[in-house]
Structure 1
Amino acid sequence: MITMSFGKFFSDKNINKVNEIEKSNKDVVIRKFNIDCKKGYLLYISSLSDRNKISEYIIKPILNHNYSEKTLNIDYLCDSVIYIDDISVDSDENKIINYLVEGNSVVIMESEEKYIVADTYKVEKRSVQTPELQNVLRGPRDSFTENYETNISLIRYRIKDPNLNVDKMSVGDSSKTTVGIVYLSNKVNKNLVNYTKNKLNSVQIDGVLEAAYIQKILNDKKTLFPKIGISERSDTIASAILGGKICIVVEGSNIVLVYPENFFEAMEAGEDHYENVYLSSFLKTLRIVVFGMSILLSPLYVAVVSFHPDILPASYILILASSRISVPFNSVLEITMLEIVAEILKESSLRLPKQIATTLGVVGAIVIGQAVVSAGLVSYLAVIIVALSTISSFISPDHTIMNPIRVLKFFMIFITGFLGLFGLTMGVTLIIITMCSNESFGESFMEPVAPFELRKVKDYFSNDIDYTIKNKRDNNKNS
């Protein structure tokens, strides 16, 4: 008698919860059914659940099953009737609504303490497409999408190692975003894995809508240069995991985070591993040189024009002077205005539809550049300098490493405008000191240059790959 009352108590709690959900949340579909004069309820959210899966694997088996000489209860439905592969049983009625908003379906039976939770989650997703941020001439063409399971499958497709771990967790009080920490357990730094888990478990945030949220959470110290890299290419992420890195896959984002990452790794493209060693070494060197050009060209123009024109040959001094005769501004204001116009064109081309962004960018640059030179507002040399500087800012495969240059460039222009070449030298020294003193999760940001390790520098530029040749020997062969 006591047992019946106890069961009825839990049953009433579950049924009351169903009635509460029915009254307050109209987005939840409640399907009622009767089996052997026993009432049952199936709850799900149609926008998150696969209705065909619910009909074929839950409703149809429950209604068509022969229950003769069988005790109808939740455990029997879970073990012998419902066809869903991912299924569990719970008894906490307060978790029902949480299961529903995660895309699960809940089966509740009258006079039952427990209820069934079946995974019927389905979300609209786009198919795997070619990369847009990191295009390649040679290499795989598949890129990550906004679907978590698809992204994990792309990684497992390339790494079939049993040591590959995917630690899954939920981040965000309201969004409950699925976040996966992917790494090779036999190569990764275990302390860094524990730090990542503790950081994500302890954070208080309403929602995580993109991988950048996780990037900011893990970057506990404010720094101009990024310590976490990004990629949309699955082969690049697989290569990073094989190198002992940690990757973060975020539900709803087509960008995967990878760390720790230093400056030289950010300058390395995925196809460098597929090209000839001499070509890849040349391209890496070119990217590093162009990185310096993107920040030094504009302030160097200011230093030469305003303070040190004598460093140029006499003929070039006359050409430079003649080109600036009608310019009403000093070199600092001239180059600053052009850099601001270049930033405006960058942002505009990103926000416009693809069909007109390219045309507007090219036409806008040509028309504006020609117009300001013809009007005598700037010199043609300044337009060339800013154009080269802008083009150079797109050289890195990981564009996040170039974003600080957009800020530091103006700092360098102003300090050079006040102090000339001395200011330029001091600015460059300050930037180098900052980069060398930065750490990326315990590793030097400028490794292997600071601290300098000759072997690692050679391996980086020679694109050396560590491998072992495994020889299969006949055990019966005589030595």
Structure 2
Amino acid sequence: MVKNNFLRKIQENRKSLDISLRRLKIYNNEIYITYIPQITDKNRVSNDIIRPILQYGKDKLLTIDMIMESVIYIDDVNKDYNEDKIIDYILQGKSIIIMTYEDKYIVCDTTKVEKRQIQAPTLEDTIRNPRDCFTENMDSNLSLIRYRIKDENLKIDDFTVGKRTKTKVAVVYIKDVANDKYVNDIKNRIKKIKTDGILDSGNIQRFIVNNSMTLFPEIGIIERSDKACTTLLDGKVCIIVEGSNIVLSAPKVFSEFLDSSDDYNDSVYWAIFSKFIRISSLLMSLELSALYVATIAFHPDALPGEFIMALASSRETVPFNALTEAFLMELVAEVLREASMRLPKQIGTAIGIVGTIVIGQAAVSAGLVSPLMVIIVSLSTMCSFVAGDYTIMNSIRILKFFMIFITGMLGLFGFVIGITFIAINLISTSSFGVPYLAPIAPLNFKDFRNYFLSDRTLAKKRPKFLKTKDNTRQ
């Protein structure tokens, strides 16, 4: 019998998957409702499936079509004939209705996933922007986007990635704005992912970048829903992964990592000043320690005479050369930063304060490092927190040690070589075909102006480097 084919598949996996099987007998016919209790809304199963079937009448003949069209209250239902898909449906949190001697079954969406409430952002905190951010629930994330963009051209393409996890991935874009080339490229890369499981958006990011060994991030991360909507309106693509509260955005260029949503809410002059501060901070984080090493070890004559004497006096008891001193102090700073991030929030702040004040002061008092080195490392560390998207600073933190090492070997000549190497790497990098240094290289004056002014009343066109279908904003 057909019913045995459906039920046999369930009985084979019932114990191992903890599947519940509810049997109803209506007019000499048997109806089975099966589901996994842990990921299913049992109240909906009881009130919207079992109760309507029992109340329909035990003396009336029921069929699968009648149950689907006239009896149950579930809004999201469909029929299927493939017995091999039953277990997959059940593992997704759906309830299956099987009827004796019917060659089809009903799939009811009764999924219930525990989720946290929408909260304020922690990675992208702002002053004047909305406070709602994404959660680990995909439906909640999509609702936040649809709440803000009420456009029929907003498209959501669904994929299932991971042989064992079967994680849902949504590619979101505005059809008449986003460039089809970027959209299709992203979707094709997601389709090609072959792995056992995807548990976070970071897993997807590693699979779809041009080169997993690239130094600079080619994909942006978004925590706030309003920022995701701004990204979509610019003509970009957002990637939402089930179970992750971080949304990916692509393409992404270098200058956008130093951008902030607050720039568009304040005056033009404050936006220019803020961007100048961020760019200067990034350069200082990268170069300060290397310049210290170059000056102390190779070019002390570049400093005024009085300052050279004071600096030599402060380093009189330091047992290390400038290269070793800078390397060790920057390493200690990174250890303290990592410790403050991994420790519980209640004591993480205390560790940062103790490390910065006590260890730094003790090192100077013991004559292990010069006071100027402590100031430089502290300033460099503070500067690394200024970027709007912190992922770009991870690259700068690594390159900082590269700059210290090459400068310690070759002096200012090595410093110039290091900066040149970084510049070449940036110029040769692209994000899904978009030049990484756009709109600077290649230079587009209007896009460059709009970026620094951060005034939407002046940015009447979308960024030219994105090559959008509809490039007009207003």
User: Normalising by the residue count of structure 2, what TM-score does the alignment of the two structures yield?
Assistant: 0.95
Code of the residue aligned with 2:119 in structure 1: it is Q
CA separation in 1, counterparts of 2:11 and 2:319?
76
- Equivalent position of 1:471 in the other structure: none
Alignment partner, residue 98 of structure 1: 88
Task: Give how far 1:467 is off.
Answer: 4.7
Distance 1:26 1:290 in 2: 54
- Tell me if 1:421 matches 2:421: no
1:316 matches 2:307: yes
Q: Is 1:211 matched up with 2:198?
A: no
CA contact (8 A) 1:299 1:416 kept: yes
Pick aligned residue for 1:196 from 159, 163, 186:
186
Instruction: Look up the equivalent residue of 2:185 and give its one-letter code.
Output: Y
Per-residue deviation, 1:345: 0.8
Alignment of 1:121-140 (within 5 A): 121-140=111-130
Q: Write the distance in 1 (CA, Å) between the matches of 2:446 and 2:68.
A: 60
The question of 1:14 aligning with 2:16 is answered: no
| Shift, 1:330, TM fit | 0.4
Contact 2:10 2:87 in 1 (8 A): no
**Cα distance in structure 1, aligned partners of 2:191 and 2:58:** 45
Cα drift, residue 113 of structure 1: 1.0
Equivalence for 1:381: 372
Partner residue in 2 for 1:328: 319
RMSD: 1.3
Q: What secondary structure does 2:312 align onto?
A: helix
Alignment equivalent of 1:171, drawn from 158, 161, 165: 161
Aligned to 1:266: 257
Structure-1 residue corresponding to 2:75: 85
Q: What is aligned with 1:460?
A: 451
- Letter of the 2:111 partner, please give it: Y
CA drift at 1:26: 4.9
Whether 1:147 and 2:137 are equivalent positions in the alignment is yes
* Selected match of 2:400 from 384, 409, 415: 409
Aligned equivalent of 1:226: 217
Whether 2:102 is the aligned partner of 1:112: answer yes
- 8 Å CA contact 2:173–2:232 kept in 1: the answer is yes
Q: Which residue of 1 aligns with 2:342?
A: 351
Partner in structure 1 of residue 173 of structure 2: 183
Give yes or no for contact 1:173–1:206 (8 Å, CA) kept in 2: yes
Deviation at 1:29, TM superposition (A): 1.0
Instruction: Assess if the C-alpha contact under 8 Å between 1:245 and 1:258 holds in 2.
Output: yes
For 2:73 and 2:446, locate their aligned partners in 1 and report how far apart those are by CA, in whole Å.
57
Deviation readout 1:108-159 (Å, 9 max, x if unpaired) = 1111111111000011111111110111111111111111011111111111
Paired letter, 1:15:
L
**Matched AA of 1:77:** I
Please show how residues 394-405 of structure 1 align to structure 2 within 5 Å: 394-405=385-396
Deviations 1:69-93 (A, max 9, x none): x541111111111110000111111
Deviation per CA, 1:235-257, whole angstroms, max 9, x where unpaired?
11111100000000111111110
CA 1:67–1:194: 2 relative to 1, 3 Å? farther
Looking at structure 1, the residues matched to 342 and 310 of structure 2 have their Cα atoms a distance apart, in angstroms, of 39
User: Which of 431, 438, 441 in structure 2 is aligned with 1:450?
Assistant: 441
CA contact (8 A) 1:144 1:234 kept: yes
What residue number does 2:235 align with?
A: 244
SS of residue matched to 1:248: strand
User: Are 2:52 and 1:61 aligned?
Assistant: yes
SS of residue in 1 equivalent to 2:65: helix
The TM-score with structure 1 as length reference comes to 0.94
**Equivalent residue, structure 2, for 1:3:** none
Percent identical pairs in the alignment equals 49
Name 2:39's counterpart in structure 1.
48
Residue 95 of structure 2 aligns to a residue whose secondary structure is strand
- How far the C-alpha of 1:15 sits from its partner, in A, is 2.6
SS for the counterpart of 2:30 is: strand
Question: Partners of 2:106 and 2:415 in 1: how far apart?
Answer: 68
Q: Is the 8 A contact 2:163 2:195 kept in 1?
A: yes
Alignment partners' CA distance in 1, 2:237 and 2:107: 32
- Separation in structure 2 between the aligned mates of residue 295 and residue 467 of structure 1, nearest angstrom: 35
Unaligned segments of structure 1, at least 5 residues: 1-7, 469-479
Q: Name the SS for the 2:107 alignment partner.
A: strand
The range that moved more, 321-330 or 10-19, is 10-19
Q: Shift of the alpha carbon at 1:455?
A: 1.9
Q: Which secondary structure does the structure 1 equivalent of 2:7 belong to? A: helix
- Distance of 1:294 and 1:406 partners within structure 2: 8
Contact 1:235 1:270 in 2 (8 A): no
Q: Secondary structure at the match of 2:38?
A: coil
The aligned residue for residue 62 of structure 2 is 72
3-state SS of paired residue (1:31): strand
Q: Based on CA coordinates, which of the two structures has the bigger radius of gyration? A: 1
**3-state SS in 1 of match to 2:249:** strand
Unaligned runs of 5+ in 2: 462-474
Match of 1:368 among 350, 359, 371: 359
CA offsets 1:432-467 (integer angstroms, 9 cap, x no match): 111112111111101111111222211111113245
Matched-pair contact (CA < 8 Å) for 1:15–1:110: no
- Secondary structure class of the residue paired with 1:106: strand
SS in 2 for 1:179: strand
Q: What is residue 297 of structure 1 aligned with on the other side?
A: 288
Query: What is the distance in 2 between the residues matched to 1:316 and 1:103?
Result: 71
* Amino acid of the structure 2 residue aligned with 1:14: F
